[in-house]
Each structure stands twice: as C-alpha cells, then as structure tokens.
Amino acid sequence: MKVPMKNWSIFVAAAALFLSASAGAQTPKELPSAPSSVQQQNSAPPTAPNPAPQRSAQPSDSAVPGKTAPSTQSGASFPAVSVPPKNDGTAGQQPQSPNDAEDNNAVETIRKQVNEVNLIFTVTDKRGRFVKDLKKDDIKILDDNKAPLSINSFTSQTDLPLRVGLLIDASNSIRDRFKFEQEAAIEFLNQIVRPKSDLAFVLGFDSTFEVTQDYTDSTEKLSKGVRILRPGGGTALFDAIYFAARDKLMNVAATGPTRRAIIVLSDGEDNQSRVTREEAIEMAQRAEVIIYAISTNISGTKMRGDKVLERFAESTGGRVFFPFKLQDVADAFSDIQDELRSQYALSYRPADFVADGRFRSIDIEAATHKNLRVRARKGYYAPKP
C-alpha cells in the first residue's frame, strides 16, 4: 500500500517527536548527597552508582560464591521467618482447582524485628599489649547513653575468618617509597590470609580506583594484584574507602561470623574524591568495617593527612600507625595481623531502640580495670523500617 507523501511527512514528524521525548526522560544517575540517603534493602545489595569511575573494568564478584545480602546494615538484624501452611486435616485430598493448589502450597512470610547489635572491640593495657582474658562482667557499655537491656553473647574471638580489603595509595605523593610498601603489603598478605578460611582483595587508587585482585585466598594472586600497581595521578582516598565498604565488604558472602576490615596504606591526603570524608566513614560504619591505616608520611611531623587517617580509625574501632622509617611499615602490618586475631565480640539488645535510621552512639570501657583501653566503633545507624 502506497503512503501519500503528505501522510508520510506527518508520520516521520510524529516518530521524531516520540524519540525526542524518550531521550529527554533519561537522566544520569547522581551520587547520593550522603550514604544515609541510599536506600538499603535486606533482600538485595545496594545498587547505587560508584562514587567515582574505575580505571579499568571491575572484576566479577564470581570469585565470591554464594554472595548474599547482609542480615544487617547497622547492627540490628531483621530476619524473615518462613512458616509452613497449617495442617487442617486435608492432607492427601486432591485440590478442587489450580488456584486451590496454589493456596495450599503457599508459604506465609512473617517479618519480625529483632533488635540486636553486634560489636567487635579490642582491649590493650597501658603498654599496648592485648588483653584476652576479660569476662562479660568486666565490660560496661552504653548505647545512646543508656545501658542495654541485655548482653546476649560475649566471646573472645581469636580465630574468626577474615574478609579484608587492602587499599594501596598509588598516587604521585608516595612514589619515592612505593616499591618498599608494595613488598611490605605482600608480606602481610602472605602471613595473614589462610587458605579456605580468609578472603582478601586488593584495591589501588590514585585519582580513581581499581580492584586489581578480587576476593581470593590465593596469596600468589593477591601478590600479583599488588605488584601491578603503578604510582601516578591525584588521590581519591575517600572514594576508595566508600566503594570498598559498600560494594565489597557490606555484602561479602559468609557462612558464619567473620571479621571485616579495611587496611589503608596512604598519606591521607585527598584531592580527587566525589564523596566526603564523613560520608566514607558513615558507609564504613554501616558495613560494620574496622579501618586500619598505615601512614606513608615519614617526615616526622604530623600532617593534615595523618589526622584524616586517625579520624577513619577512631570512628570504626581501628588503629593508625605512623612508621618513622620505611622498615617500620612491615612492623605495622604485623601489629594489625595480631590485633585482628585478638578481639572480643559481643551482642546486646539496646534500650529504647527505634528503627528510625538515626545514628546511635556506643561507649564501652573496662569497668573493673581502669588501666585498660578499649577500642570499638563509635556507634551505628539504626535501620529504617
């Protein structure tokens, strides 16, 4: 059938108008103004865009079998309880219709809120030595300035599987000492990663970030991931921590309790990130990640970047190291390894808990031993209903 030229012109114009409207409806995804504005769902991991472009294609998470969403985003868990259909005496009878069959086989899901906070902490004496023999009654804890309703569990955990992200600053500012720090990082991974138990990944960052080795228990692969890094460019430290916490550690697969940690090797100076320092800290707290930092500043004077590293460590219950010489970097890695194997874990029910997304502070101390120091994260974000 031949279309008249006049009608054909009308058809082309209408098609062009439709395509223009469709294109105008597509808007680029924007970063959240703060991590708290990212909706966290229990049924699936977050899908918000990365805070910064990566230098190369992201390795697949297929290296982590059985990846599942976390049971908690802030320390309080919300399990789904499956209840089988009631047995009403009709077992063995044939359903009257396909719809009846679907009703009989239906599984009712009941969601029950369980307010339980899990906390990892470290105790040292005045000489910095780890204290591993404390009991539940030795610890005093306040949640939002109130004593918890109950302490559900208290254990000294020295052998939990580790999920570790090694974040290496590959910017121009550390070029002079980069080679030695690479070797120290490789030695650390060789000592701490146990086959069939621990998993680690390597992430290098300058003005952008790149996962050079995804989760694995192979120290050979991890070493290769460290060695292929080359220094150059600016520094996007905050973006790297934000990404590691949200996309790598928050949803890491595990069949039981694990210790999640980020180890940062950097001078702490940031000049390229799209997220702020506090947004990166908040994301680490939501992922329940401990941050350890090794400063690459060997000037002998505390710089602005060192204070940034201190803020990350103190907010998450970690620790920052300031090596005086390059050889001390290896000692700092060794101290981190000892600490990850020398921690306590407790769970408790907070008083007056409200699932309103608000930050709740945690204060913990060794009440019966005044000369001991307790390190733990400063608080958590209550989940939203």
Cα 188 from chain centre = 21
Q: Say what the pLDDT of residue 283 is.
A: 96
Q: Is 59 helix (H, G, I), strand (E, B) or coil?
A: coil
User: Torsions phi, psi of 292, nearest 5?
Assistant: -110, 140
The answer to whether residues 296 and 265 touch, using CB atoms and an 8 Å cutoff, is yes
Alpha carbon distance 377, 288 (integer Å): 8
**Tens digits of per-residue pLDDT, 113-124?**
458 898 889 999
Instruction: Write out the DSSP string of 134-155.
Output: --GGGEEEEETTB--SEEEEEE
Structure tokens at 341: 């194997």
- What structural domains does the chain harbor? 117-157+344-381 (no CATH), 162-340 (3.40.50.410)
**Quick one: pLDDT at residue 342?**
85
The span from the CA of 38 to the CA of 36, in Å, is 5
Mind giving me the DSSP string for 253-306?
--SS--EEEEEEEE----SS-SS-HHHHHHHHHHTT-EEEEEE---SSS--HHH
DSSP conformation class of 77: B
The whole-model pTM stands at 0.69
pLDDT at 159: 74
Provide φ and ψ at 3, rounded to 5°: -90, 125
The residues near 243 (Cβ < 8 Å, ≥ 6 apart) are 50, 51, 52, 203, 209
Distance CA 212, CA 162 (A): 19
Model pLDDT, residue 115: 82
- Strands 150-157 vs 108-111: parallel, antiparallel or unpaired: unpaired
Instruction: Centre a 10 Å sphere on the Cβ of residue 262 and count the other Cβ atoms it contains.
Output: 26
Query: 193-213 b/e with 16+ CB inside 10 Å = b?
Result: beeeebbbbbbbbbbbbbbbb
Q: Do the beta carbons of residue 60 and residue 67 sit within 8 Å?
A: no
Cα distances (Å, whole numbers) of residue 198 to 48, 49, 219, 264, 341: 27, 28, 11, 18, 12
In whole angstroms, how far apart are CA 183 and each of 13, 168, 169, 244, 336?
65, 12, 14, 22, 16
Strand 379-381 to strand 117-124: parallel, antiparallel, or no bridges (unpaired)? unpaired
Residues of the chain with pLDDT below 50 are 2-3, 5-6, 8-13, 15-49, 52-53, 56-113
